[in-house]
Every structure is written in C-alpha cells, then in structure tokens.
Amino acid sequence: MHILHVDDEPLFLELTKIYLERNAGVKVTHCTSAAEALDLVESIEFDAIISDYEMPGMNGIELLFELRSADITTPFIIFTGRSRQDVVIEALNKGADLYIQKGGDARSQFAELGNAVARAVLKYRFETETHESKRRIADIFHHLPDATFAIDCSGRVIAWNRAMEKMTGVKAGTIIGNGDQSYSVPFYGVARPTLVDYILHPDDEIPLSYLLLRRDQGEIIVETETATLRGEPVVLWAKATLLYDKNGEITGAIESVRDITAQKKAEKALIAADEYRRTLIEAHIDPLVTIAADGRIEDVNAATEVLTGRTRDELIGTGFCSLFTDPVSAEGICRRAFAGETAREHPLHVRNADGEIQLVIFYGTLYRGRDGVVRGVFAELHEPVPCSCKDGGCACSGEDQSASTIHLDIISHDLANALSTASGYADLLNGMVDGEAGRIADAITLTLRRGQEVIRRINSVRRFGMIRNGSAGIRFIPLDRVIKNEILHFPGISIVYEGTESIVLADDLVGEILWNLLDNSVRHGGSGVSIRIVVWEEGDSVTVSVEDTGPGIPLGKRSTVVSGGEGHGLGIIRELVTRYGGDFSISDRVSGKPGEGANIRFSLRNAYGEDGTIRSDDGARVLEVQGSTSLSGGAE
C-alpha cells in the first residue's frame, strides 16, 4: 500500500513513516501542508490519506472537503491531537473513514494507526469492487438484446432494461418501484399475472393462453399469441427465471420477452408453401416418386398408390426397382440418373399388387436439398399415349410406340409440369400483393389454371380415342381409389366424401367422369363452391351422386346436355357411362330450386352380382393373374 501522510510537524511525519514502513509494511509519502497534498494527489495514486486536523492555511477537514468535491474517494483518516466531539462529527460527516487520537504509547498508537489504515483500504477496495460488479451487472442487464425486467418477491419492479423501454414505450423511471402487476399492462392492457408470477408461485396453474415450451426447476419458457404491443397483436416468446441472493435465498424473478411475430409469420408462410407444394405433387396426374441414394423409396404421391395398388406407407422404405418386372434395367436407369444424367423416355413395366402389368415411361432427375447437396432422384412414371390405330393399320404396340407418339407425349407432359409450376408461383404471388397488382395476380392464376384444364382435356381426348377402338379392357376398378385420386386435383375446394367399398366394371378412364363433374362444379360455382359425393349400391349397379352449391343447370338445357347436344366434358361423361353400361341424369340439388345447385348422377355396373358372385356377362371374361382376379373385355 502507498500512504500519503499530511502534517505540519516534520519530525512527527518522519516518526510516522518509520513506524508504518517498518511495522505495517506500507510505503509512506509525506508533506507538511494541505495545498502540497492536493498537488501530490493529482500525480500519484494513493491507497489512503492520513491527515492532521489543525494545519496552517487549510485544515484537515477542509482538505477532505476539497478531495471529495473533486470526486476523489480514497480512504481518509483524521490523525490529530484534538479530541473535541464536534470535530469528530464534522470529519465523519464530511466523508472521513476514521478518526484517531494522537497521544499515549507510541508503539500502541502507531500499531492502531497501521491497523486502521489496513481496514480502511480493504473496506474501500471491497466496496469499490462490489460497486464495479453491480455496475457491470447493471450495464449487462441494460444492454441485453432481449427486453427484460425483474421484480422482487413482493411484486415490485426492480429493473426494466433499455430493450424493454424500446419494446413497450414505457420508461424505466416511470415503472421501477411499482407493484400490482403493472409490468403486464404494456403487453396485455390490464394488470394480470405473467411468467414472473407463475415462477414465484409454482403451485399456480399456467393458463392455456401460454404455449408451454419448457418448465424446469427455476425456469419457464412459453410462447403466447394473446399479447399486443402499442395496439398491434404480436406473438411473444418469454422466459422467466428466479433471482437469488448470495445466501441462495430467492429474492425475486426476472422475465425476458422476445417479439417473434415476424418469425412465426415466416414459419407459417413456409409451412403453407410446403403444404402447397405437397398438394401440387399429390394432385399431379402422373405417379411421382423420390428415391434415396440407397435405392429405397422416400416418398410417393397418390397417383403412385393407384398405379401400384399399394399405400404410401407400404411403399416408403421398399426398393424402387422391385416395382418393375425387370429390376435390373430399372437399376441401370436409376444409376445413370444418380450419376447426373437426365433419364428420359425409358419404358419400364410396373407390376401392381394384383399382379397386373402396366407400361410406364420413366423420367428421372437429381434433386438437391437447400444446402445444394444431392438428396436423391425425383422420378416420374408417365403413362404412355396408347396407340389408336385400327387393327393392321400400323406396327405400333403397347410396348413399342413410335418416336412421334413418345415425343408428343413428352411435350404434353412437360407443358403440364411447366403450367403447374407457374400456377404455384402465381398463387404465392397472389398472397403477397393486393390492389391492382392483386387483381393481375388473380388473372394470371386463373389463366394458368385454364391452361391446365386444356392440357387435361387434350390428354383426355387422346386417351378417349382408345375406347372407341376397343383397345381398353374392362376390368375390376375400386371406385374409392378413383374418387379420392380425382379429389386431389382440386386442392382448396370443399369436397365432402365419406368413402365406398364398391367395385365397378370400367377401365382407367372412369376417373375422367369424376374429374369433369368436379371441374364443371368449380368452373361454374367458383372457388367457394361446396361439393358432396355420395355412392350407394342398388341391385346390380353402383350409383354416384355429385351435388354442388353452384348456379345449377337451367331446366331448358338439361335435355340437351343429357342427349349430347352441349358440353365437351359432359359429352365425355355420356360416352364413358354408356360404354360402361350405366345411366346418366341431372336434377336439382334442392328440389324445385334449380338456382341453388345441381345434382348429377351416373351409374356403373357392380362387379359383383346381387348374390355376391363375380359378374361375367356381356362378353366380359374372368382372368386369373398370379392368384388374383380381374376382368377384361374383348377376345384374346
């Protein structure tokens, strides 16, 4: 320690220096006047100052006053022969740390002085360090990035940082010291318990307005959507912890709050985009499969379930190449796709769960994650365009299509994909703009969807050509699978359907009936239309009813529609239903109120007779294919 001793008696200064430096282990610098002491303090940092009271020019208490006025807080000890009580009181009031009386045994006197100096310095250092520690803690608290406040056990606000001031607009000076849950008013408009109350009173039940994320001993983390800030609804993340003193006793609680409204909106937008992309994939008319690097199936869409006769859960995790009659060829194609080649126009034969075999055209491309790393292969199993040539008219077969037919198929396929992707981006844009820009986005979306309808109709016409040439086989069709697959093509539309176990005699084009009926309902009734599909069995037939809440079909047009005089889509329905040996009718959804929606019904032949046996009339024949039964029309 370095001590400054001020006294107007030079001999006493020397004596004090000898005793303190020899016995107290301190270094002593001395001077004979207060003015000289002030000069020394400006250039040297002392651990303590010892001063006489009576000195010429400026006494010891006046020196102390000058030091404290200059914000010099060095420990100050009055060491004087004066013992008047008023001097002692004045010295202590002015900020002196100790008052020691001169006189008596020199050894005892200077031992007491040395001990007093040591105590004063230690106390000063401890208080300084404590003050600095509190100041640093306060600075850290006030500069925390999260809005934070603290209360004591009685519920009074004891801290309110700058981030909290910025978030709420409430200044610390106006709220610190307040109780009665005033800290909740900026967030909820009224005084009510918040997390700090629930952590201080752990027996109280946390209300459902908080989404509890974590609760441990001394910590609670939640989210809430019930708060407001400056009148605007917000989503808040909040964390509360207990405050302890140095003895481990609970002294209060601290709560940090974070506005995560933008983050939650972004998460919801991302989820909505992912759901929309999933809907687009599910609604795709072609089977789509994602293949992992080990060749196993990661995901499929509904069309793949229809193609394979297996559910999504049954397919995921199985080997992709095992779906085909020639798994070696399929593996070679996948290997080239994983090598970065774009696999196109590769014919493969799929064997479904019933043992039936169907030709598909394989398209495969690599797909990558957000980090750019290859995740696997995205495969499309596109149904080839059937040959519609008359017998003997060409050399085409189901397994060997002409190059022109394949290229036409590819063009239609790629165009449909492009329109689907553009429609997806248009829908996302539609949710981001309003006003005139929003109306333009609506028009773009509508135009793209009409383009998708055109592609669907072109494909329908091409596929419809084969039934007129007798090349489509009548067989067992599970009606429930067909209806659910067609519903997927209309995401966002309210369609009520409870399912059916009916099996009908039809072919792959039976889905066109459902698609055209649903498309007419949406086209004429708009996106707000509600549709209800009901299926029931009656004798040897299965009836399907499609009701909607659209504008209905005027009475004067119904006979024309049924007889074939109007409507391309309804024309396809009429011809398909006739081919399948069924009936087709139109009525009101609400009897006698044609403007409140239409009810269109069609019937198909039940694959099973009234006695539960398989039907085989009208030239239909029963085939045994790998232990399963199917029906096919025509002669071998």
Whether residues 312 and 402 share a domain: the answer is yes
Question: Confidence band (pLDDT; 50, 70, 90) for 399?
Answer: very low
- pLDDT at 390 > cutoff 60: no
CATH number of the domain where residue 41 is located? 3.40.50.2300
Whether residues 424 and 288 share a domain: the answer is yes
Whether residues 596 and 541 share a domain: the answer is yes
Residue 101 is predicted with a pLDDT of 80
Give the DSSP letter of residue 433: -
* Max CA separation in the chain (angstroms): 140
Query: What is the tens place of the pLDDT at every residue in 469-526?
Result: 544 567 888 999 899 988 887 878 899 999 999 999 988 788 888 988 988 888 888 8
Whether residues 316 and 446 share a domain: the answer is yes
Whether residues 333 and 306 share a domain: the answer is yes
Residue 395 is predicted with a pLDDT of 43
Summary mean pLDDT of the chain: 79
Query: What is the tens place of the pLDDT at every residue in 32-59?
Result: 999 999 999 988 999 999 998 888 888 8
| Helix, strand, coil percent content, the chain, rounded in steps of 5 | 40, 30, 30
In Å, how far are 5, 332, 509 from 385, measured between CA atoms?
109, 24, 13
Domain boundary among 139, 168, 198: 139
Residue 46 is predicted with a pLDDT of 92
Show the tokens assigned to 36: 């000289």
Residue 463 lies in a domain: no
Whether residues 314 and 412 share a domain: the answer is yes
Whether residues 445 and 333 share a domain: the answer is yes
Taking a C-beta distance cutoff of 8 angstroms, is the pair 505, 605 a contact?
yes
Lowest mean pLDDT of 142-156, 277-291, 618-632, name the range.
618-632
What does the CA dihedral 59, 62, 64, 70 come to, rounded to 10 degrees?
-140
- pLDDT at 386 > cutoff 60: no
In Å, how far are 400, 402, 408, 462, 613 from 394, measured between CA atoms?
11, 10, 17, 17, 40
Give me the number of domains the chain comprises: 4
Residue 213 lies in a domain: yes
Domain boundary among 78, 104, 139: 139
Question: Confidence band (pLDDT; 50, 70, 90) for 4?
Answer: very high
Residue 333 is predicted with a pLDDT of 85
- Calpha distance 636→634 (Å, rounded): 7
Taking a C-beta distance cutoff of 8 angstroms, is the pair 542, 533 a contact?
no
CATH number of the domain where residue 623 is located? 3.30.565.10
Domain range enclosing 384:
283-455
Whether residues 242 and 341 share a domain: the answer is no
Whether residues 34 and 125 share a domain: the answer is yes
Residue 292 lies in a domain: yes
- pLDDT at 71 > cutoff 50: yes
Residue 467 lies in a domain: no
Domain boundary among 119, 139, 159: 139
Lowest mean pLDDT of 32-36, 396-400, 557-561, name the range.
396-400
Whether residues 524 and 395 share a domain: the answer is no
Lowest mean pLDDT of 59-63, 131-135, 539-543, 581-585, name the range.
131-135
CATH number of the domain where residue 351 is located? 3.30.450.20
Whether residues 332 and 397 share a domain: the answer is yes
Residue 465 lies in a domain: no
Residue 269 lies in a domain: no
Residue 422 is predicted with a pLDDT of 73
The most confident of the ranges 94-108, 125-139, 511-525 is 511-525
Residue 267 lies in a domain: no
Q: 102 has which bridge partners? A: none
Whether residues 236 and 366 share a domain: the answer is no
- Calpha distance 237→240 (Å, rounded): 10
593 vs 457 pLDDT, higher one = 593
- Calpha distance 528→548 (Å, rounded): 11
Question: Confidence band (pLDDT; 50, 70, 90) for 400?
Answer: very low
Residue 270 lies in a domain: no
